[in-house]
Amino acid sequence: METALRVRGLSIRKLQPQETPPYDLLLLADPSRELVNAYIAEGECYIAEEQNDSIGVFVMVPLTNGTVEIKNIAVREDKQGHGIGRKLLQEAIEIAKSNGYKSIEIGTGNSSIDQLALYQKCGFRISDIIKDFFVQYYDEVIMENGIQCKDMILLRMEI
Ligand code: ACO
C-alpha cells in the first residue's frame, strides 16, 4: 500500500487495484457508470480522506503529447463549498507536474457554471468545445442551472 500524501489537512492516496472505486463520489461528477469504469481502467483514481472517510475523488488519464486529463473530480455533497475541490485540483496539477506532463485538461458541461468558475480560477482556459457530446453519449437529458447540458467545454493549462 502506498503511503498517503497529506495535503493541507486532507489525506490523498491512490485507489488500490483490489479496492472498489468510490462510485458514490464518482457518479456525482459523471452519471455514466459505464464511462466511469472505462476511464478508471485507463488512468489513476485518487481518493481524498478526512479521518478515514472518503470525501473526495479525482481521476487522471494520460492523453497523447505529454497531456493528462482530469476525467472526474468530486467532493462529497456535505463537504462542498469549503475549498476542498480547489485543493484536489491543485493536487492533481502537482501530480501531473511531478510526473513530467506538460499540460493538463479538464472538461465539463456547458451548464456547469460553478465548475467552469472553479477551473478558470485555478488557471485553466477554455480550449475547445465538443458540440452535443452529452446528447450523443448519455441516455438521459441532463439539466443544471435550468440549462440543458449538451456541449463539452474543454479547458487546458500548460504546467
Ligand atoms: N461563480 C464564481 N465562483 C464560483 C462559483 C460561481 N458560480 N461557484 C463556485 N465558485 C468558486 C468558489 O467561490 C470557490 O472559489 P475560491 O476558492 O476562489 O473561493 C471555488 O469555485 C469552489 O471551490 P471549492 O469549495 O473548492 O469547491 P468544492 O469543494 O465544492 O468542489 C466540485 C467543487 C468538485 C465541483 C464539487 O462541487 C462537486 O463535487 N460537485 C459535484 C460533482 C461535479 O460536478 N464534478 C465536476 C464535474 S466535471 C469533471 O468531473 C471533470
Report residue 1's pLDDT band, with 50, 70 and 90 as the boundaries. Answer: very low
Q: Quickly state the pLDDT bin for 5 (edges 50, 70, 90).
A: low
Mean pLDDT rounded to a whole number for the chain: 94
Identify the H or E element spanning 40: helix 33-42
* 8 confidence band (pLDDT: 50, 70, 90): low
| 2 pLDDT higher than 80 | no
Give, using CA atoms, the residue closest to atom 15 of ligand 1.
118
Average pLDDT over residues 50-77: 96
Ligand 1 proximity of 28 Cβ (cutoff 6 Å): yes
Q: Is the CB of 99 under 6 A from ligand 1?
A: no
**pLDDT above 80: residue 6:** no
Q: What is the pLDDT of residue 120?
A: 98
- What SS3 class is residue 92? helix
Give the separation between CA 118 and CA 33, rounded to whole angstroms: 24
Q: Is residue 156 over pLDDT 90?
A: yes
Compute CA 143 distance to the chain's CA centroid, rounded to the nearest angstrom: 19
User: Is any atom of ligand 1 closer than 6 Å to the C-beta of 117?
Assistant: yes
- Kindly state the average pLDDT of the residues 34-53: 95
What proportions of the chain, in percent to the nearest 5, are helix, strand and coil? 30, 35, 35
User: If you average pLDDT over residues 141-158, what whole number do you get?
Assistant: 97
Is the separation of the CB atoms in 107 and 125 below 8 Å?
A: no
Cα 43 to ligand 1 centroid, rounded to whole Å: 23
What's the length of the chain? 159
Residue 52: what pLDDT?
A: 86
Asked if pLDDT for residue 111 goes beyond 80, the answer is yes
Q: Is the shortest distance between the CB of 121 and ligand 1 below 6 Å?
A: yes
Q: Which residue's alpha carbon is at the smallest distance from atom 3 of ligand 1? A: 117
Ligand 1 neighbourhood includes 148 CB (under 6 angstroms): no
Distances (CA, A) of 155 to 79, 117, 144: 25, 11, 19
pLDDT (tens digit, 9 = 90+) per residue, 67-107? 999 999 999 999 999 999 999 999 999 999 999 999 999 99
CA 18 – ligand 1 centroid, Å = 30
Closest residue by Cα to atom 8, ligand 1, is 114
Predicted local confidence at residue 60, as pLDDT: 98
